[in-house]
Amino acid sequence: MARASWLRSSRRSSSIRREHACVDKGTLFARPAVAIAPPTADFAISSPDCAIVHIVSAPRRVADLRGLASSKLGCELPHKPGLTAGDGFEFVWTGPDRWLAIGSRLPEASMGKLASVFAETASLVDVSDAYALLRLGSPKANEALMKLLPIDLHPSAFPSGAVALTHIGHVGVIVVQRGPGPIFDVLVPRSFAASIVGRIEHA
C-alpha cells in the first residue's frame, strides 16, 4: 500500500530557520515609552521611570501589615485616600486594605524589598508595566488637568498628599497632589497614556 504523501512533507512548513525563530524577550516585554512633548517654562509633563507594586492585605492580616510598615519602613499606611512615604517608597491608598507602592528602585528590587517586609501578610503584584506615571508641574499643565477632571483641585479642597480615584473621559486614573507648585502625579493605564497626554496638551 502506497504511503500517503500528506503524512510528511520533504519541505519545511516555514522558511524561518529554527534558531532564528525565537523572539527576544527583552524586546517583547520592554516597557513602552510615553511620548511627551519637550517641556517649556509654561507647560511641563514628565513620565518618571519607577517601580509600582500593588499591595492587597491578606484576610484578617491588615493590622499585622500596618505594623510591619510602621516598624520596618517607618510609615503609616493610609486609611483613606492619601499618600505616605517610607524607606524609598510612597504608598498610595487605592481602596480598603490595598495600596500602590511607588519606588525609585528597579521593579525586581522593589518587589524583593516589599516581599521581605510584608512576607505572609499581603499579596504583592508588580504593575510597573501596567501603569504610566505622568507628572504635571507647570501652571498651564495644571490648568489643563483641572479642565479634564470632575473634582476640585484647589489646594483648599485637594491639599498636598491628597489622592483621588477619578477619571479623565472614560479612563480611570489616580491623581496625587505632591506638594508646592502644586505638582500633580496622574497614574494611568499605560495603554491609554498617550491619549491622556494628548488630552492634557490640547485642553
User: Is 0.85 surpassed by the pTM of this model?
Assistant: no
- Using a pLDDT cut of 90, give the percent of the chain over it: 65
- Residues 2-36: pLDDT tens digits? 444 333 333 333 333 433 333 333 433 456 667 66
Question: pLDDT grade, residue 182 (50/70/90)?
Answer: confident
Regarding the domain with residue range 42-202, which homologous superfamily does it belong to in the CATH classification? Probable tRNA modification gtpase trme; domain 1 (3.30.1360.120)
For residue 142, what pLDDT is reported? 87
Question: Which residue, chain included where needed, has cell 499591595?
Answer: 55
Name 87's Cβ contacts closer than 8 Å, sequence gap at least 6. 72, 73, 74, 75, 113
Q: How far apart are CA 130 and CA 190, in angstroms?
A: 6
